[in-house]
Amino acid sequence: MPLFSAGLNHTTAPVPVRERIAYAADDLPRALADLRRHTRVEEAVLLSTCNRTEFYFQAPDDTGVLDWLSRDRRMPRHELAPCLYQFREEGAVRHLLRVAAGLDSMVVGEAQILGQLKQAYATARENGHVGHGLNQLFACGFATAKRVRTDTRIGAQPVSVASIAVDLSRRIFSNFAEHTALLVGAGQMIALCARHLHTQGMGRIIIANRSPTRALSIAQGVQGFGIGLTDLDAHLSEADILIACTASPEPLIHLPAVRAALRRRKHRPMLMVDLGLPRDIDPNISQLDDVFLYTLDDLTAESQTNRQARLTQAALAEEIVEEEAARFTRWLRDHDRRRLLQQLRERGEQTRLIALAQAHERIERGEDPERVLEDFSRALTNRLLHTPTHRLREAIHQSQQDLIDDARRLFDLDEPEP
């Protein structure tokens, strides 16, 4: 049964289309069951994230799946068609391996997609939509992603500003558990920094915002504390790491307040990262001996450097994907050939059993066993050789020398005399 992949992603479809086509996690079982009910799909996995919705499936052909998607998402096929891609056999294998390795992601080398792919596979398997074919395919995908992570440094250097800010913090403070981070703001960037810091074991996180309620909302998600901006100066001395990103037109963190905080800290160093535009931290603070101040420009420059480094590693990862895709495709072809041998043996066995049953019936009717055995052996030979003999006779009549030579090799026949 051929392998296929089909769908759309961030490179082929704009956000409004991706939003219309996306599936919620709890809707995947219903969608997969309906897909198989109304198409010829035998096995299927449906992956749906903010950046892609795509199917991996086995079926006699790929007709019907994208028409089903159009109906299920109530989006006319002519509107959907320009956003779609389809791959078959080795192309489908290669696509899955690239997705698993993070090579098809908006941020090359990101690892989140692998977890999403594993969850999509687990959902399909738990609901009975995965068999031997997709089991083998996804096992290859997961193994390839692991090899890419092991043999390259594609994910070693962060490329998002939030990730770089946390990575910078890790370089200066190796044991996060013993330190405190003070995050100023309550937008998406600060929320992302808070999650990164929490995931990496930051001992204490304080969120400061003009709205204490909003600060508390983010803080609760990372087991932290929320305060208002009016309390910011009072908590400066607690901060080993300070990351600021607000929409304030004027700096919120001033030189005198930081000087006072350093005295209370007995001049233990502070890392400050200003992600605001306009700036949230007075640039004169960089003159203080015990403060390491980085700006958005510093982090953006590092992000570009890291992106280029990832692209270099991505080239190595693409080589791994090509190698693994070729290996899996060879396995797939060999598997199909083994099934051909199995089918040949099953057909021969079926022919033998029919002839044997007929022989038993004749013996039970009292016919001479010697005569029955003679007829049985002759009938078995004729039935097994009927189709090959017919095809070979046609080849001889039509002078199909290639087929004649193949038959001679297949049945170990003598070469013609010169």
| DSSP letter assigned to residue 229 | G
Exactly one of 50, 83, 140, 245 is catalytic; name it: 50
User: Residues 394-415, buried b or exposed e (16+ Cβ, 10 A)?
Assistant: ebeeeeeeebeeebeeeeeeee
What single letter denotes the amino acid at residue 142?
A: F
To which H or E segment does residue 322 belong? helix 296-364
| Closest to 59 (Cα-Cα) out of 67, 49, 51, 71 | 67
Q: Rounded distance, CA 141 to CA 117, Å?
A: 9
| Closest to 284 (Cα-Cα) out of 256, 250, 260 | 256
Partnered with residue 341 across adjacent β-strands are none
Cβ contacts of 386 within 8 Å, gap of 6 or more: none
Q: Rounded distance, CA 39 to CA 196, Å?
A: 43
Q: Rounded distance, CA 260 to CA 267, Å?
A: 10
Q: Are strands 270-274 and 241-244 parallel, antiparallel or unpaired?
A: parallel
Do residues 268 and 290 lie in contact, with contact meaning Cβ atoms separated by under 8 Å? yes
Sign of CA dihedral 148, 150, 152, 156: positive
The secondary structure of 255-320 as a DSSP string is HHHHHHHHHHTTT--EEEEE--SS-SB-GGGGGSTTEEEEEHHHHHHHHHHHHHHHHHHHHHHHHH
Q: Are strands 291-295 and 85-88 parallel, antiparallel or unpaired?
A: unpaired
Q: Rounded distance, CA 22 to CA 89, Å?
A: 25
Give whole-number Cα distances, 287 to 4, 147, 250, 256, in Å: 60, 46, 19, 12
- Is 50 labeled as catalytic in the residue annotation? yes
To which H or E segment does residue 383 belong? helix 369-397
- Helix (H) and strand (E) counts for the chain? 15, 10
Q: What is the SS3 string spanning 75-137?
A: CCHHHHHHHCEEEECHHHHHHHHHHHCCCCCCCCCCCHHHHHHHHHHHHHHHCCCCCHHHHHH
Q: Annotated catalytic sites, by residue? A: 50
